[in-house]
């Protein structure tokens, strides 16, 4: 790792993450970045003529203490670079213990993974949630490394992200584990992410379910036993476990569901004893989460639908990508400012997932007449406003049907 010394009063520390040949890349990249007059956050543009472009897959710069950096860009002499080089891995394993017709118990990624490339940068969330969560994870891992007694200072290394569907909770967990695996590579030689598939834990042979939980978690524990491996465990849509337990307790489902959830909770408690394990859970119905899970979480972070500014940024990023692919003509956010503002306003309440889908839905309107010539971006934007309106109406209708169903069931 290469460091440029300097106290923070004089320099803003920035982290550069680089994938490629290690020390040569780090040195060359540092020279390149410091040759720019101004330095800003985001992907670093490597000139095609530079030898670096042969070896680099990606190079991304982020401020290490963003709250202290007031300007969007700084002069090169104001920045102290900390460069992390890493190789992106392509390794994914899925638990094959289940039968063909059943969902696997878990997937396991070696980090940093090619599959999670760019997710961190693509997520646009409020009030620096991303960096706050990363800081929390770093702090929790320091506590466990320094062997702080958790009976005296409670820290479970477990977070819960909750909020409406499609707001980026699962993506954030994956991006966060990727980010931390890069930042902590001097402390942990390896890093893994296990995604536990809650649906996969319910075997159609009921008595098998608790055994499946045991099998899934014993694999995680065997990896965690090596303290040089940083292990992230993502239990996605945790409400599907807990709602089953509630249903079971009220007598409408077999008691096996109770055993599965209890088995998961026991395993979660067992994993908490490993100082190199960090657990992340997500849910989109907070009300339905078992208090057993809620109480274990150190941080319960609400992830809501994007703000107007975030919506504008998601939409303009998506349009820039269509321009890059030459589906629409050159798109500069300044060019369609009014239209883009109007669209950002009109999509109030839309999730990030729906916003990212809008450009595709819009293009499908043009598809039959598409003659491989880029569509004028202003025309595309105005069509997109129509598509957004239709989506809003359809969503409204669906919500009212759901409400009627709930009313008829007396809920």
Residues binding Mg ion (CB under 5 A): 170
Rounded to whole angstroms, how far apart are CA atoms 313 and 74? Answer: 22
Q: Which is nearer to ligand ATP, 12 or 123 (CB)?
A: 123
Q: Decide: is 356 part of the binding site for ligand ATP (CB under 6 A).
A: yes
Span interacting with ligand ATP, options 33-41, 42-50, 160-168, 369-377, rule CB under 6 A: 160-168
Contact 255, 249 (CB under 8 A): no
Rounded to whole angstroms, how far apart are CA atoms 264 and 267? Answer: 5
Q: Which is nearer to ligand ATP, 161 or 375 (CB)?
A: 161
- The two counts, helices (H) then strands (E), for the chain are 13, 14
Site size toward ligand ATP (CB under 6 A) is: 19
Binds ligand ATP by CB under 6 A, chosen from 200, 336, 352, 359: 352
Rounded to whole angstroms, how far apart are CA atoms 247 and 144? Answer: 36
Q: Decide: is 359 part of the binding site for ligand ATP (CB under 6 A).
A: no
Q: Which two tokens stand for residue 18?
A: 């680089």
Q: Decide: is 170 part of the binding site for ligand ATP (CB under 6 A).
A: yes
Q: Decide: is 118 part of the binding site for ligand ATP (CB under 6 A).
A: no
Instruction: Give per-residue burial for 329-352: e unless 16+ CB within 10 Å, then b.
Output: bebeeeebeebbeebbeebeebbb
DSSP string, 295-335: HH-SEEEE-----HHHHHHHHHHHHHHHHHTTSBS---TTT
The label of the residue with tokens 């009109």 reads 346
Chosen from ligand ATP, Mg ion, none, partner binding at 122 (C-beta under 5 to 8 Å by type): ligand ATP
Rounded to whole angstroms, how far apart are CA atoms 157 and 178? Answer: 17
Binds ligand ATP by CB under 6 A, chosen from 16, 44, 83, 125: 125
Q: Which is nearer to Mg ion, 170 or 276 (CB)?
A: 170
CA distances from 131 to 16, 141, 142 (A): 15, 15, 16
Q: Which is nearer to Mg ion, 170 or 181 (CB)?
A: 170
Segment 281-310, which members bind ligand ATP (CB under 6 A)?
Answer: 282, 284, 306, 310
Binds ligand ATP by CB under 6 A, chosen from 112, 166, 200, 336: 166
Nearest to ligand ATP by Cβ — which residue?
A: 352
Binding site for ligand ATP (CB under 6 A): 122-125, 165-171, 282, 284, 306, 310, 314, 352-353, 356
């Amino acid at each position: 790792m290469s460091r440029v010394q300097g106290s923070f009063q004089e320099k803003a520390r920035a982290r550069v993450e680089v994938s490629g040949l290690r020390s040569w890349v780090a040195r060359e990249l540092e020279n390149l970045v410091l040759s720019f007059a101004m330095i800003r956050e985001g992907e670093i543009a490597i000139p095609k003529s530079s030898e670096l472009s042969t070896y680099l897959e990606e190079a991304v710069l982020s401020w290490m203490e963003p709250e202290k950096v007031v300007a969007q860009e700084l002069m090169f002499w104001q920045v102290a670079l900390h460069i992390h080089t890493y190789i992106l891995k392509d390794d994914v394993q899925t638990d094959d213990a289940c039968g063909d017709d059943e969902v696997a118990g878990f997937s396991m990624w070696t980090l940093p993974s090619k599959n999670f490339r760019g997710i961190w940068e693509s997520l646009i969330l409020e009030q620096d949630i991303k960096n706050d969560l990363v800081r929390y994870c770093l702090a929790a891992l320091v506590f466990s490394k320094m062997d702080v007694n958790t009976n005296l200072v409670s820290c479970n290394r477990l977070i819960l992200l909750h909020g409406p569907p499609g707001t980026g909770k699962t993506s954030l967990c994956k991006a966060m584990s990727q980010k931390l695996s890069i930042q902590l590579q001097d402390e942990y030689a390896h890093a893994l992410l296990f995604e536990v598939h809650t649906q996969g834990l319910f075997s159609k042979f009921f008595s098998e379910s608790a055994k499946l939980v045991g099998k899934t978690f014993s694999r995680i524990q065997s990896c965690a036993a090596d303290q040089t491996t940083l292990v992230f465990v993502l239990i996605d849509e945790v409400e599907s476990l807990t709602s089953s337990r509630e249903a079971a307790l009220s007598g409408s489902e077999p008691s096996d569901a109770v055993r599965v959830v209890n088995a998961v909770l026991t395993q979660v408690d067992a994993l908490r004893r490993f100082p190199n394990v960090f657990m992340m859970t997500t849910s989109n119905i907070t009300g339905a989460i078992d208090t057993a899970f809620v109480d274990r979480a150190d941080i319960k972070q609400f992830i809501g639908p994007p703000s107007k500014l975030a919506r504008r940024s998601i939409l303009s990023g998506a349009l820039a990508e269509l321009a890059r692919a030459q589906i629409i003509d050159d798109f500069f956010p300044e060019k369609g400012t009014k239209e883009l503002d109007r669209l950002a306003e009109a999509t109030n309440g839309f999730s990030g997932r729906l916003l990212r889908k809008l450009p595709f839905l819009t293009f499908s309107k043009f598809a039959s007449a598409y003659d491989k010539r880029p569509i004028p971006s202003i025309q595309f934007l105005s069509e997109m406003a129509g598509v957004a309106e239709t989506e809003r109406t359809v969503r409204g209708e669906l919500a009212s049907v759901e409400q009627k169903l709930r009313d008829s069931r007396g809920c």
